[in-house]
Amino acid sequence: MKKEFGVEAKLIKGSGGVFEITVNGELIYSKKATGKFPEPEEIFYHVRQAAGAGAAK
């Protein structure tokens, strides 16, 4: 994340197998919703999409 976007990623401990990715407080990926853990490329894709959407605002 740091190299690609210049930001730090942080892991927030949870329970129940939940894995969610948020950007600026917006949920962009949910393992609970998709039923699968994302591949690294998927994470970057969703972060890029969110970053692009934020730039368009």
Average pLDDT score over residue span 34-57: 83
Q: What is the mean pLDDT of the chain?
A: 85
Q: What's the burial of 38, exposed, middle or buried (CB within 10 Å: 0-12/13-18/19+)?
A: middle
pLDDT > 70? residue 56: no
Predicted local distance difference test score (pLDDT) of residue 57: 45
Amino acid letter for position 45: Y
- Residue 33 tokens, joined: 């919703």
The Cα angle at residue 42 between residues 44 and 19, in degrees rounded to 5: 95
Burial 2-15 (b: 16+ CB within 10 A, else e): eeeeeeeeeeeeee
Average pLDDT score over residue span 7-31: 86
Average pLDDT score over residue span 42-57: 78
